[in-house]
């Protein structure tokens, strides 16, 4: 009769042999995913922002989000951060007397907070049911409420803390900016860019927005330049003629160039984003995290694919459990019962 000890020994030996046979070649590391060539996004220029919050109100209206009451100061729709019903906010940095705009010492500055639509989004990588998706053409990170079951992995995965859970929803929805993709079919673009009076928020293709950001950084502080508003025209004439966005009059105006930091936030951070930012104040001070150029999605997926390739992880776990079970078998129990015919 087969004893329990001999059975566990056989299982341990078998799992060890299987693990040795299934050990795969080392998995190659996955690099960052790239932005699609026609990726859409925003350019936010903090030196042009006046803090009017027209973008916040327009975002609410475009997405049919309810007004929210803040108990701290008993005011409606004055959120300190994004929520499940507020996808876009303007935050304020202040120091000392706060007398001068866009100055770190004794000054203040504004910063827009919304989804950055990462080139390699961690929320998409973490979602187990593909409720978070990245469009292969526009690069917009969208959310499918019908697929979501409320695990909130996307909330934990996002380095920018953007996806927010709607705790008042009976079905457990996530709220985040989707660049007003539901308005695109009618020729409208992001509502925040449409209403911005100073062009601080500008909509367009990310490649064109990056070129515009670099153009501004190359100018001298105090110089006068033309600032576009609303939507930035495509960089090539034919593409501009062929697009389906609604036609608008030239909204450019003259403005003085800010004293920019020589850094386009989102160009490289976290693998790159489709929402780019310019500022005269250190980005960390205005609430933007200092992130490495490699995305966490590329790191986590490399680890996962290495562990599960060839079923090495399940087999290793089985072997470990068998070993633990073997160690907990009482020797006297086998002698008394297992070795009897």
Give phi and psi for 254, each to the nearest 5. Answer: -85, 135
Length of the chain: 341
Are 261 and 30 within 8 A, CB to CB?
A: no
Nearest to 92 by CA among 112, 72, 115, 75: 112
At 217, list the tokens.
Answer: 């950084």
Q: With the CA atoms of 144, 146, 150 and 151 taken in that order, what torsion angle do they form, in degrees rounded to the nearest 10?
A: -70
At 230, list the tokens.
Answer: 């609303």
Contacts of 247 (CB under 8 A, 6+ apart): none
Give phi and psi for 142, each to the nearest 5. Answer: -105, 170
Tokens 């990056």 belong to: 210
At 107, list the tokens.
Answer: 């000054």
3-state secondary structure of 260: coil
Phi-psi region of 179 (alpha: psi -120 to 50; beta: other; left: phi over 0): left
Give phi and psi for 272, each to the nearest 5. Answer: 95, 150
Mean pLDDT of the residues in the chain: 88
State how beta strands 141-143 and 107-113 pair. unpaired
Nearest to 257 by CA among 218, 287, 288: 218
What sign does the CA torsion over 98, 99, 101, 106 have? negative
117 by Cβ neighbours in 10 Å (0-12 / 13-18 / 19+) ranks as buried
pLDDT at 239: 82
pLDDT digits (tens, 9 = 90+) for 165-218: 999 888 889 999 999 999 999 999 999 999 999 999 999 999 999 999 999 999
Taking the whole predicted model, whether its pTM rises above 0.75 is answered as yes
| Mean pLDDT, 10 residues at a time, the chain of 341 residues | 56 52 57 94 98 95 88 73 94 95 96 97 95 97 95 95 92 93 95 97 97 97 96 86 87 95 97 98 96 93 73 75 79 57 54
pLDDT at 328: 79
DSSP designation for 337? I
DSSP designation for 83? B
Task: List C-alpha distances in Å: 226 to 150, 200, 203, 216, 255.
Answer: 46, 13, 16, 10, 6
Exposure string (b/e) for 216-255, b if CB count within 10 Å is 16 or more? beeeeeeeeeebbbbbbbbeeeeeeeeeebeeeeeeeeeb
pLDDT digits (tens, 9 = 90+) for 82-128: 999 999 999 999 999 999 999 999 999 999 999 999 999 999 999 99
pLDDT at 159: 95
In DSSP notation, 283-301 reads TTTTT-----SS-HHHHHH
pLDDT at 139: 97
3-state secondary structure of 15: helix
pLDDT at 203: 97
């Amino acid at each position: 009769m087969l004893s329990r000890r001999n059975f566990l020994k056989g299982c341990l030996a078998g799992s060890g042999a299987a693990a040795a046979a299934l050990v795969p070649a080392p998995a190659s590391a996955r690099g960052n995913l790239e932005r699609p060539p026609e990726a859409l996004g925003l350019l936010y220029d903090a030196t042009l922002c006046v803090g009017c919050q027209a973008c916040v109100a327009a975002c609410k209206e475009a997405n049919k989000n309810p007004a929210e009451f803040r108990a701290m100061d008993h005011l409606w729709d004055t959120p300190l951060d994004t929520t499940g019903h507020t996808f876009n906010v303007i935050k304020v940095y202040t120091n000392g007397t706060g007398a001068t705009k866009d100055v770190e010492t004794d000054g203040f500055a504004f910063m827009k907070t919304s989804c950055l639509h990462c080139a390699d989004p961690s929320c998409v990588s973490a979602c187990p049911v593909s409720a978070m998706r990245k469009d292969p053409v526009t690069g917009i990170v969208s959310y499918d409420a019908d697929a979501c079951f409320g695990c909130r992995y996307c909330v934990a995965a996002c380095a920018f803390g953007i996806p927010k859970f709607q705790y008042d929803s009976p079905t457990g929805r996530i709220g985040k900016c989707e660049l007003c993709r539901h308005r695109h079919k009618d020729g409208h673009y992001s509502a925040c860019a449409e209403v911005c009076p100073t062009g601080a928020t500008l909509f367009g293709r990310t490649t064109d927005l990056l070129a515009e950001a670099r153009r501004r950084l190359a100018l001298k502080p105090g110089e006068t330049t033309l600032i576009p508003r609303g939507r930035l025209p495509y960089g090539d004439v034919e593409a501009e003629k062929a697009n389906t966005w609604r036609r608008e009059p030239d909204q450019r105006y003259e403005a003085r160039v800010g004293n920019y930091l020589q850094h386009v936030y989102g160009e490289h951070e976290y693998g790159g984003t489709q929402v780019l930012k310019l500022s005269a104040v250190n980005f960390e001070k205005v609430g933007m995290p200092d992130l490495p150029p490699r995305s966490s999605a590329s790191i986590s997926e490399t680890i996962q694919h290495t562990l599960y390739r060839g079923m090495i992880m399940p087999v290793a776990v089985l072997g470990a459990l068998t070993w633990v079970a073997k160690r907990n078998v009482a020797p006297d129990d086998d002698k008394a019962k297992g070795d009897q015919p």
